[in-house]
Structure 1
Amino acid sequence: MSGIRGGRTAGAALAAVMLVTMLGGCAGGGGPDPVGTWGDPDGAYLELESGGAFTGSDGCNRLTGSWTMEDDNISFDDVASTRMACPDTEALLEGLDTANVSGDTMTVYADDEAQIATLDRAPVNS
């Protein structure tokens, strides 16, 4: 009988290790959560959705596309933008390609790796 009990204990221990491993992979994985609004919704901003889509504006032109994240680094793909003429607005997010998230700050880079913007996480409206 003690052999059966030992087998159950070993099986329970193995199941516990597997559960911790699976949960650790889900919880820890890819750095900070970038979902939400970054920047000023009345000016230049990006809004990253949980499904991998994003929208935004440089204060004049609207942006849309998709994003993926690995560690603290975000890659933007399929980026489309309107081309309105706004004489008093700098096209701050034009050419966005990647971003890095550190705490509540997102630094946005162009495809030539030049830094083009720094956006703070917008507060969540309650």
Structure 2
Amino acid sequence: MTHDLRASAGVFQLECFTGHGHTAFVFFHHALSDFEQFDMVCIVDLLNRIRWDKEFGKGEFVIGYENHMLDQYVYVPFKEIIFEEGNHFSFELINEMGEFITIPFHRVREVLKDNKVIWQRPPHTP
């Protein structure tokens, strides 16, 4: 995976080349500068940092993912997400009907910490 970083107007853009012919553009809002020397990372790396870095992981994290059936973003507390060991493509959670659902990482659109957006993908273009 390679990265290309650009900054403009307090928003950082990171272009991640996944090596599978896909390119993900990720925006990091200036709010990240509130944390000590945070390296610009793709969503999997950010979620892992929330999980494993005790200092960075303090606070209330919320993940916003795109629900294609509802045609809207759905926000869930990070603590409700289930990570399967060795799965590098998705996570699971239990929906309001008590069913396990799988959310691919590429459908994550935003990450909030203490009600501030700290990570965001650009909107889809029609």
Q: Please state which band the TM-score falls in when normalised by the shorter chain.
A: under 0.3
TM-score by length of 2: 0.25
Q: Rg bigger for which structure?
A: 1
TM-score by length of 1: 0.25
